[in-house]
Amino acid sequence: MVKKTRGGTLLSQVHQVCGRVWNKILRENDMADLEGARGRIIFALWGKDGVPIKTLCEKTSLDKSTLTGIIDRLERDGYVERKSSETDKRSTLISLTGKEQEFAKIIQKVSTQMNKIFYKGFSDDEIIQFEEMLARILENCKEAE
């Protein structure tokens, strides 16, 4: 193994800088409601009906207490609603209300804009290889969690 690595530091920096760029792009497109974890939750729910909180924790990498607080605010702002599962009364399902559709027309444009920034100078093969490596790192970290 290489003696000195920078992968963890670089991933952390990429996360921070990309988060700021993403939020800037969202604000420029009047989509500030989708900044940060709020957006991750809405995107994880997009096109799905009734997602269990446990699944949202996995999809967003947020812990349950953090997720619950953000869902409270999204519910207050009219983006999500909670329902008890009909098959498991202990499980709460989260669904979008339809308010997120105000962003539907421009979300693809914004996502494409971010991808152009993120993958500037990469070939298609490099993108595939990079994403495969990131997926492996993610799995390694999940195993250690």
Encode pLDDT of 39-89 as tens digits.
889 989 988 889 999 999 999 989 999 999 999 999 999 999 999 888 888
Q: Which two tokens stand for residue 110?
A: 């914004």
CA gap 141, 98 in Å, rounded? 35
**Taking Cα atoms as reference points, which of 10, 77, 89 lies closest to residue 41?**
77
- Please state, for a pLDDT cut of 90, what percent of the chain lies above it: 61
At residue 137, the pLDDT reads 95
Nearest to 33 by CA among 116, 118, 117, 99: 99
Report the pLDDT value the prediction gives residue 71, as an integer from 0 to 100. Answer: 95
Model confidence band, residue 129 (pLDDT cutoffs 50, 70, 90) = very high
Q: Domains in the chain, start-ordered, CATH in brackets?
A: 8-144 (1.10.10.10)
Global pTM value: 0.72
In whole angstroms, give the CA distance from residue 39 to residue 60.
10
**Residue 128 is encoded by which pair of tokens?**
């595939």
97-127: pLDDT as tens digits: 988 888 877 888 888 999 999 999 999 999 9
Q: What is the DSSP string of 22-76?
A: HHHHHHHTT-GGGSHHHHHHHHHHTT-S-EEHHHHHHHHT--HHHHHHHHHHHHH
Measured distance CA(29)–CA(35) in Å, rounded: 12
Q: Percentage of the chain surpassing pLDDT 70?
A: 100
